[in-house]
């Protein structure tokens, strides 16, 4: 990823929280700790972290309920559920509540990091789930079925080629792409020196529109 991913850990055990924070920060992630479901829910909706690590047993309720509330309220980023329970039904409940993955205690740090990397790669590397018409990134929503992009409640006024370019870049976020790759994938023909200038112009158009939209937010 091009910038450190911010991760929210909702866990009421201070020792576990500190261990997770240390391990994740050593890998370059930005970590916020919350020790209750209510605080974690409020922070997640307000700050939109890239990923949540959510314990099932919390002092003010069930992590399953928090996960379900997050999904109901429009939180689309990955959620990794953590529990000491090993029964298959607990995993099923977690996944049906909206979790993307599930890990049971005791777990090794390397396993947790592998799961975190896989979730982030799926969400922000490829960026979209197969069969999904929408791509999410914080407050940016790209609706491929309607051919439009929204940032918060604001419609980004993109040309068709700018929209295709935005979709392609979103699907390959954090990856180094050549102009020739972009040209062939978005425009659909082989590149030469003059054609590659078209990529520069349209990328400037997309980023200029985004900056202009920022000024009105």
Sequential pLDDT tens for the chain (217 residues): 345 789 999 999 999 999 999 999 988 899 999 999 999 999 999 999 999 999 999 999 999 999 999 989 988 888 999 987 665 566 677 677 888 888 888 889 989 998 898 888 777 754 333 345 677 765 678 887 777 888 767 888 776 777 888 888 877 776 777 777 777 777 665 555 445 556 666 666 666 555 444 434 3
Across 44-190, the runs of DSSP E, i.e. the strands, are 51-55, 57-58, 61-62, 79-83, 101-104, 134-137, 140-143, 148-151, 154-156
Q: What is the pLDDT of residues 180-216, one digit of tens each?
A: 777 777 766 555 544 555 666 666 666 655 544 443 4
What's the whole-model pTM score? Answer: 0.58
Q: What is the pLDDT of residue 188?
A: 64
> CATH code for 6-125?
3.40.50.2300
Say which CATH class 134-215 falls into: mainly alpha
Classify residue 130 as left (phi > 0), alpha (psi -120 to 50) or beta: beta
pLDDT reported for residue 2: 44
Which whole-number Å values give the CA distances from 116 to 8, 27, 158, 201, 203, in the listed order? Answer: 12, 11, 33, 36, 30
pLDDT of residue 37: 95
Please say whether the beta carbons of 196 and 180 come within 8 A: yes
Cα–Cα distance for residue pair 38/181, rounded to 1 Å: 45
Domain ranges in the chain? Answer: 6-125, 134-215
């Amino acid at each position: 990823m091009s910038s450190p991913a911010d991760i929210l850990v909702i866990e009421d055990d201070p020792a576990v929280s500190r261990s997770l924070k240390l391990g994740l920060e050593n890998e370059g992630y930005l970590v916020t700790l919350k020790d209750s479901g209510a605080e974690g829910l409020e922070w997640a909706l307000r700050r939109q972290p890239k990923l949540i690590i959510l314990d099932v047993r919390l002092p003010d309720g069930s992590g399953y309920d928090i996960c379900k509330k997050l999904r109901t309220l429009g939180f689309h980023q990955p959620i990794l559920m953590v529990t000491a329970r090993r029964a298959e039904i607990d995993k099923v409940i977690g996944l049906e509540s909206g979790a993307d993955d599930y890990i049971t205690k005791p777990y090794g740090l390397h396993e947790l990091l592998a799961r975190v990397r896989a979730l982030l790669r799926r969400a922000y590397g490829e960026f979209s789930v197969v069969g999904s018409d929408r791509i999410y990134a914080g407050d940016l929503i790209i609706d491929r079925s309607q051919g439009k992009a929204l940032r918060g409640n604001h419609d980004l006024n993109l040309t068709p080629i700018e929209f295709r370019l935005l979709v392609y870049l979103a699907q390959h976020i954090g990856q180094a792409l050549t102009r020739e790759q972009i040209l062939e994938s978005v425009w659909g023909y082989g590149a030469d020196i003059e054609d590659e200038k078209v990529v520069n112009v349209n990328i400037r158009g997309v980023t200029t529109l985004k900056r202009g939209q920022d000024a009105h937010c």
